[in-house]
């Protein structure tokens, strides 16, 4: 067994400090950097233009954000005010409202409190709506946009007038893609949502430019969910036979087998999904919705198919989901999860997201995560932000901020969060990131990387031709490519415009070399050493098993990390690069977990979630910065935002040098001029 306060991999004692991030505040406030972006909507409605999101006034949109799940979408007014300000302090500028229609959540959009047995899901609870309205109002004031989910986890009821509600899953997947009654119920829900007037903003949702994006349905496709329940299966067979007759396909009298490996069935799935997306899209436009709309999200290997990607092209943008090393770890002592580091993998989330990027459409990642209790998750936030910036992707929201509204929580993954999601399994709090120093703690830098553009776009583009829509996609051409060049997928009939043209099974980057450097020279990752770095004028970082590498030289900076695993990041907080800035944020974080958390020897099974406070491993490192500023000082910042000490430093021959981790230990340090 092991816990965070035991030993390092080389059996040397670990040093840890308690560092719990409060639910209602953050130690450092960087909202001043984004003051000119308040309120959300000041640039007009968001539009899809080519492969970019552009506001009406011509401003390009870049989003770094999070999801709110379930009851977190319906907090009290006071909670909304505090959380909106907290998000703004770390640089978040978009929140996706996910699972607001979930029956397991209290509140949800249909029911504020549990007890009454609702006969149907045709109307909204007024208290839930009021809280939703006020949350949108608070987020808008702080310059934070809203991504609105529509059909996600709605549990249809007998009073809705549908067949066999007891046996169809949440959101009636995949039947909600074609059943007429289910489609009409969705349209009614959408109309009620978008025409509702928010009394705090004085605008209907359809008329509020602070609501920027919307997806029609969440992870809802025929490649993941098979039609088996009657009468829905037979209804789909009838639709299929009518389609087949139009195509000149003979079907015979035998029962149709909906085999997604069959080319004809795949063709049918493409058409029926396109028809659904087009009908729902048109209804939203008729209702007055002006913002970009997507259909359903592509989800990793579940729906990573050329066919599914093709069926989304009738909407405005592509949306994708992927996770790193999940598992059944919400079941304490029973489940097993993957504990591998991303830095050493060819198949981390990045190739999957690159697969989903069509060069002619904007691209958004509305779910990603490296969930606790993976102990290496401190590598993920900056890697994701940096690759997104290199690729020119339009935005990212982590899944998730929170499932609940508990206050004064000082542990990661508090067991009472979560609920009976997806027809019964318990998710626990593994996806809550709001107080996780290893992920949310690095959002300051991630937001600057993506929103400010600290990492610049790739110089060259690789166009990967999809080929036959019915062939399972190979990803050889995606191995490491998205960390070197910009990647776009070219479906049949589309024009290839890249500097490099490749087939899916081509080798673009030699993965056997075990390392990749972006064509901009700002990003590097070594799979064998399991380290990476970011080297841009305004943000520099090293991550992974940096303690084994020794001193890492970046432009105008050297970082020598002594702790085996860490992320050390420095960002300028001025309009000057680090080499000439008199205000910088340094974050140093690695392993973080609850006090007395216990795992098996391989850290793949959680035996005890532990308790608060959250403990973070002390990161020991020496940093040298070439700078023109001679009067800098380094201040240690505690969770309450107070200076707890000044780190000894020296300035010699144009180099500012100091060591963290020996005294006044923290995860946050401000480097500021006198």
**What pLDDT was estimated at residue 287?**
98
Let me know: does 460 contact 519? Beta carbons within 8 Å: yes
Residue 419 has pLDDT above 60, yes or no: no
HEC string for 162-190: CCCCCCCCHHHCCHHHCCHHHHHHHHHHH
Backbone angles phi, psi at 432, to 5 degrees: -65, 125
Give burial (CB, 10 Å; 0-12/13-18/19+) of 495. exposed
For the chain, the average pLDDT equals 92
HEC string for 179-220: CHHHHHHHHHHHHHHHHCEECCCCEEHHHCCCEEEEEEECCC
**What pLDDT was estimated at residue 449?**
98
- pLDDT tens readout for residues 492-511: 889 888 999 999 889 999 99
**Predicted TM-score (pTM) of this structure:** 0.96
Residue 186: both structure tokens together: 């969705």
Q: If you ran DSSP here, which 8-state letter would residue 512 be given?
A: G
Q: Evaluate the omega torsion of the peptide bond into residue 107 and state whether it is cis, within 30 degrees of 0.
A: yes
Residue 417 has pLDDT above 60, yes or no: no
Q: Give the Cα separation of 148 and 163 in Å (integer).
A: 28
- pLDDT tens readout for residues 143-158: 999 999 999 999 999 9
- pLDDT tens readout for residues 646-659: 999 999 999 999 99
More confidently predicted of 423 and 330:
330
Within the chain, all domains assigned CATH 3.20.20.80 are found at: 33-457
The secondary structure element, H or E, covering residue 247 is: helix 232-247
| High-pLDDT (> 90) share of the chain, % | 82
The DSSP result for 330-391, as a single string, is TSTTT--B----GGG-SSSHHHHHHHT-BTTS-EEEEEEE--TT-TTGGGHHHHHHHHHHHH
Residue 436 has pLDDT above 90, yes or no: yes
Q: Is 453 left (phi over 0), alpha (psi -120 to 50) or beta?
A: left
Alpha carbon of residue 289 to chain centroid? 24
Per mean pLDDT, which range of 604-608, 619-623, 646-650 is the poorest? 604-608
The secondary structure element, H or E, covering residue 129 is: helix 126-141
Residue 553: both structure tokens together: 């030289």
Q: Give the Cα separation of 115 and 286 in Å (integer).
A: 37
Let me know: does 223 contact 182? Beta carbons within 8 Å: no
Per mean pLDDT, which range of 42-46, 322-326, 387-391 is the poorest? 322-326
| High-pLDDT (> 70) share of the chain, % | 93
SS3 at position 161: coil
**What pLDDT was estimated at residue 337?**
81
* pLDDT tier, 406 (very low <50, low <70, confident <90, very high otherwise): confident
Residue 605 has pLDDT above 90, yes or no: no
**What pLDDT was estimated at residue 299?**
81
Q: Would you state the CATH architecture of domain 33-457?
A: Alpha-Beta Barrel (3.20)
- pLDDT tens readout for residues 459-494: 999 999 987 776 666 678 999 999 999 999 998 889
**What pLDDT was estimated at residue 48?**
98
The secondary structure element, H or E, covering residue 571 is: strand 566-572
Let me know: does 560 contact 645? Beta carbons within 8 Å: no
Half-sphere exposure of 169 (CA within 13 A, CB side): 17
Residue 40 has pLDDT above 60, yes or no: yes
The DSSP result for 388-447, as a single string, is HHHHT--EEEES-S-SS--SS--STT-TTS--EETTTEE-TTTT--TT-TTTGGGHHHHH
């Amino acid at each position: 067994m092991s816990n965070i306060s035991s030993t390092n991999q080389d059996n040397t004692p670990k040093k840890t400090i308690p560092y719990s991030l409060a639910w209602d505040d953050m130690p450092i406030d960087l909202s001043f950097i984004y003051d000119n972006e308040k309120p959300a909507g000041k640039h007009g409605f968001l539009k899809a233009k080519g492969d970019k999101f552009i506001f009406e006034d011509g401003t390009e949109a870049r989003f770094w954000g999070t999801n709110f799940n379930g009851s977190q979408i319906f907090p009290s007014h006071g909670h909304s005010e505090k959380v909106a300000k907290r998000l703004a302090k770390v640089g978040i500028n978009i929140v996706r409202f996910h699972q607001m229609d979930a029956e397991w959540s209290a509140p949800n959009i249909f029911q504020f409190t549990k007890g009454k047995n609702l006969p149907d899901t045709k109307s909204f609870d007024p208290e839930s709506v009021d809280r939703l309205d006020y949350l949108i109002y608070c987020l808008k004031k702080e310059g934070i946009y809203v991504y609105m989910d529509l059909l996600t986890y709605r549990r249809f009821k007998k009073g809705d007038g549908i067949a066999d509600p007891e046996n169809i899953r949440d959101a009636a997947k995949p039947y909600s893609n074609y059943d007429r009654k289910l489609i009409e119920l969705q349209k009614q829900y959408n109309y009620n949502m978008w025409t509702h007037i928010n009394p705090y903003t004085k605008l209907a949702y359809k008329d509020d430019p602070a609501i920027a994006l919307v997806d029609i349905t969440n992870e809802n496709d025929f490649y993941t969910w098979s039609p088996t329940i009657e009468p829905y299966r037979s209804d789909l067979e009838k639709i299929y036979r009518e389609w087949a007759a139009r195509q000149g396909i003979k079907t015979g009298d035998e029962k149709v087998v909906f085999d997604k490996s069959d080319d004809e069935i795949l063709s049918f799935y493409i058409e029926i999904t396109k028809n659904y997306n087009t009908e729902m899209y048109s209804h939203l436009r008729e209702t007055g919705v002006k913002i970009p709309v997507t259909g359903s999200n592509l989800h990793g290997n579940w729906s990573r198919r050329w066919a599914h990607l093709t069926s989304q092209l009738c909407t405005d943008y592509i949306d994708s989901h992927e996770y790193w090393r999940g598992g059944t770890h919400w079941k304490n002592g029973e489940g097993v999860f993957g504990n591998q580091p991303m830095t050493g993998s060819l198949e981390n989330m990045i190739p999957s997201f690159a697969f989903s990027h069509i060069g002619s459409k904007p691209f958004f990642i509305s779910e990603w995560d490296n969930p606790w209790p993976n102990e290496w998750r401190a590598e993920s936030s900056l890697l994701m932000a940096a690759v997104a910036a290199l690729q020119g992707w339009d935005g990212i929201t982590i899944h998730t901020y929170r499932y609940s509204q508990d206050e004064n929580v000082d542990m990661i993954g508090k067991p009472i969060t979560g609920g009976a999601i997806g027809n019964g399994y318990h998710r626990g709090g593994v996806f809550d990131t709001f107080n996780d120093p290893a992920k949310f703690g690095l959002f300051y830098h991630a937001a600057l990387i993506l929103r400010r553009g600290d990492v610049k776009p790739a110089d060259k583009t690789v166009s990967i031709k999809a080929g036959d829509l019915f062939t399972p996609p190979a990803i050889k051409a995606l191995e490491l490519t998205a960390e070197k060049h910009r990647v776009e997928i070219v479906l049949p009939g589309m024009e290839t415009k890249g500097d490099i043209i490749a087939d899916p099974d081509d080798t673009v980057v030699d993965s056997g070399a075990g390392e990749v450097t972006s064509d901009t020279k700002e990003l590097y990752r070594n799979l064998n050493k399991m380290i990476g770095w970011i080297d841009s004028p305004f943000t520099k970082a090293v991550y992974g098993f940096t303690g084994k590498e020794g001193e890492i030289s970046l432009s105008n900076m050297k970082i020598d990390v002594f702790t085996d695993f860490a992320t050390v990041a420095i960002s300028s907080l001025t309009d000057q690069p680090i080499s000439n800035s008199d205000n910088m944020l340094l974050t140093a974080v690695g392993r973080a977990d609850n006090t007395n958390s216990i795992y098996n020897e391989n850290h793949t099974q959680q035996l005890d979630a532990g308790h608060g406070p959250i403990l973070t491993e002390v990161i020991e490192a020496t940093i040298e910065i070439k700078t023109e500023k001679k009067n800098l000082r380094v201040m240690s910042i505690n969770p309450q935002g107070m200076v707890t000490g000044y780190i000894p430093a020296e300035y010699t021959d144009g180099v500012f040098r100091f060591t963290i981790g020996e005294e006044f230990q923290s995860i946050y340090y401000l480097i500021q001029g006198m």
